[in-house]
Chain A
Amino acid sequence: MSAVSTAASESMPSAETAQQKPVLEVRDLSVVYDGETKAVDHVDIALAPGETLGLAGESGSGKSTLALGLCRLLRPPAVITSGSVIYRGSRVAPGGVDLLDLRSRELRKLRWREISIVFQSAMNALNPVLRIRDQLGDVLDAHLRLSRKEKRDRLDTLLDLVGIPRERLRSYPHELSGGMRQRVMIAMALAVDPEVVIMDEPTTALDVVVQREILAQIVELQDRLHFAVLFITHDLSLLLEIADRIAVMYAGKLVEVGSAEQIHNRPAHPYTQGLLGSFPSVHGARRELAGIPGTPPDLRSLPAGCPFVPRCNHATDKCRDIDMSMNPVTGSSDPRHLSACPFVTFDLAKANTPKVRAAASQGTS
């Protein structure tokens, strides 16, 4: 098989995820813009080896800031004000290092080699004046010492991996379709065999059919190479399908974490429940779409306590006093199903389903 995959299978244990120490652990991370806007507010997440963790949230929820923050890619005025990001790579730091403590030279060695990112818009992430070969080659040169021939083989392997014809190495980005460019980005992220790949809305700009193909490819590559994925998107329906576990963010805070199955069937936080009732599905029977009233919050002036209060159907005065700490959901058998809302649980929600507005149209059926 390919050079990439053999290297990976030697260095990585099997994809058994549940009981292992997380490969990436974010503890109590906070990011502040301009000294007052809390874009990420005391967030804890953990990514197990080989796992796909989905991070869902609307624009402004802090999901992208979180991703950039844990790689220390944020620029001023964003400042990390608290927390740690522990990385436990089997190659470099089995005992764990705090990425936030590293000096920039040490960090540079870890970036891409250990943790790589597929950025949101592949259209802009590639350099328009360099051929694909040169851009992919740069990554290899920066992290590996390869002979010319090895490098050439590796480039060919990488393109094979993502299903792009090898002759495309000579192309410039503008000569590729959006889907192909996104595949090049994925190839680039996997070029030096990282253990963690962060994907920030990797398919948002693509058509559903292409999106489907690329997701299938990511799943397949993950099966072969066993990297862990932090998959960030606003599209919860997508996450339900590809993620093992899902973390939902709202206004810079985590509101719920659980397995895809729990989030779908037993959502515990009112915001998650609202999100699930917001998107129409082409499959299955027509259901009533409830939606979420109101507008996303302004991070500069958040209410005390739960930031979802203004849009929540279950809100009471008590909600303004809670500290948004994540606790196991009442009545859930799984202690890893966490919610920031101490009042509403799945059962309560079911008994008192929020009906915000009627579905958009009666349709013709």
Chain B
Amino acid sequence: MSEQLAPAVVIPAAAARGRLVLEARSLGKDFKLSHGWHQDVLSAVRGVSFGLHQSAVVALVGESGSGKSTVARMLAGQEKPTAGEIALDGEIVQPWTHRQFRPYKSNVQMVFQDPFASLNAVHKVRYTLARPVRLHQHLRDRKAVEAELVRLVERVRLTPAEQFLARYPHELSGGQRQRVAIARALAAQPRVLLADEPVSMLDVSIRLEVLDLLDELRTQFQLAILYVTHDIASARYFADDTLVMYAGEIVERGPSEDVTQQPAHPYTQLLVASAPDPENLAEKIRPAVSGEVRRAGSALSTTSGCRFAPRCPLAEDRCRAQAPPLLAVSAQRAAACWRLDVAAPDLLHQTQGEKEEAIKT
């Protein structure tokens, strides 16, 4: 059954929103670990490919250590990939090189997780924002800079702007700080925004407003957004496409609603099943089905086979021997699993049906 699946060429849902801007092509990152004499290589990221499209949000979902932040850091030019390449508007770029760094940053900006750490505590908001405005917008005139600062701060809904510009980070709440961080990213007038867990440090009641703001900016500036998160529920609401990472690899990708509502890969299924489900109060949390001790997936480069296999209830010999590539589940979806026929039989039947219909018509 699974042999019939072709290696994946998927059309992301994000492609319908706009032109391809930034592209990761088989990105990989190895870290060398040394234990005395012995040296191991940890492939934190392996063979990650995806595109960011104008006016579209792509979510990168995974647990801590899955490599999702490393991918974002490579795309931001802060980390040099050990494999693969990055393409901006179809041209291969090397943002980690001194020469290309700044022009690249004019296009690609990042928002970090912790607004308490990402803003310099000894400078006022005005200083934090004025630097990128001068550097990237090449404004020299003080009045023009000031006008731009006011515009930026108002754009992230911090009013009155003059008051906020004169404040230090410690005088702001977490939500306001994250807005300043977003304004700083916008100051470069980028086309791509990499948001690494932009709301996970914020209070529940404010998260929605910040995501809402990002969504507004997406439309207004036709931003291509990469939304890195551990919260698959927020990916469902916020992102066009969702990529699920496990131990450095993309294990499933597709339109967010499909991936979250009908997960194909056993790991995505576990992730979705683990999310709190307040709609289903009768079914309280029960002890784990199996008593066996779960082992975390190893990302050592010497590990053979599927990295999820040690935790996977469906794993068989083939899974432990040979790593599955991303296989097309439908035109828009793919999953890296040898046992999709067991893991998601309904999905495959649907796909099969669609294909047959396509042949008939």
Q: Which of B78-86, B89-97, B226-234 contacts A (4 or more CB under 8 A)?
A: B226-234
Q: Taking the complex as formed, is B271 at the interface, i.e. its CB lies under 8 A from any CB of chain A?
A: yes
**Chief secondary structure at chain A's binding surface:** loop
CB-defined contacts of A295 to chain B, threshold 8 Å: 173, 175-176, 206
> Which residues in window 14-59 of A have CB below 8 A to B?
58-59
Given contacts A207-B64, A209-B271, A236-B204, is CB(A284)–CB(B279) below 8 Å?
A: yes
User: Separation in Å of the B276 CB from the closest CB of chain A?
Assistant: 4
CB-defined contacts of B293 to chain A, threshold 8 Å: 163, 165
Are A291 and B212 neighbours in the complex by a CB distance under 8 Å?
yes
Are B175 and A275 neighbours in the complex by a CB distance under 8 Å?
no
User: Separation in Å of the A61 CB from the closest CB of chain B?
Assistant: 9
Are B230 and A208 neighbours in the complex by a CB distance under 8 Å?
yes
Which of B257, B272, B277 has the most chain A CB atoms inside 10 A of its CB?
Answer: B277
Q: Compute how far the CA of A289 lies from the CA of B278 in the bound complex, rounded to whole angstroms.
A: 15
Given contacts A295-B173, A363-B237, is CB(A58)–CB(B278) below 8 Å?
A: no
Q: Compute how far the CA of A235 lies from the CA of B231 in the bound complex, rounded to whole angstroms.
A: 12
Q: Which of B35-43, B284-292, B319-327, B336-344 contacts A (4 or more CB under 8 A)?
A: B284-292
Are B286 and A241 neighbours in the complex by a CB distance under 8 Å?
no
Are B240 and A363 neighbours in the complex by a CB distance under 8 Å?
yes
| Contacting residue for A282 out of B63, B176, B233, B240, CB 8 A | B233
Q: Which residue of B lies closest to A279 (CB)?
A: B204
CB-defined contacts of B233 to chain A, threshold 8 Å: 279-282
Given contacts A215-B285, A264-B281, A360-B212, is CB(A209)–CB(B257) below 8 Å?
A: no
CB-defined contacts of B285 to chain A, threshold 8 Å: 212, 215-216, 219, 241-242
Given contacts A219-B286, A291-B209, is CB(A281)–CB(B278) below 8 Å?
A: yes
Interface size of B in residues (CB-CB distance below 8 Å): 56
Contact-residue bracket for chain A:
35 or more
Given contacts A213-B288, A241-B281, A282-B260, is CB(A359)–CB(B237) below 8 Å?
A: yes
CB-defined contacts of A264 to chain B, threshold 8 Å: 278, 281
Q: Compute how far the CA of A288 lies from the CA of B222 in the bound complex, rounded to whole angstroms.
A: 24
Known: A208-B275, A279-B233, A360-B212. 8 other contacts (CB 8 A): A178-B64, A240-B276, A241-B278, A279-B204, A291-B209, A357-B212, A360-B211, A363-B256
Question: What are the 4 A-B residue pairs with the smallest beta carbon separation, nearest first?
Answer: A291-B208, A365-B257, A207-B63, A240-B278
Contacts from B to A (Cβ < 8 Å): 13, 16, 57, 63-64, 173-176, 203-209, 211-212, 215, 230-234, 236-241, 255-258, 260, 270-281, 284-288, 291, 293-294, 296
Contacts from A to B (Cβ < 8 Å): 58-59, 163, 165, 177-178, 207-213, 215-217, 219-220, 234-238, 240-242, 260-261, 264, 274-275, 278-284, 286, 289, 291-293, 295-296, 357-361, 363-365
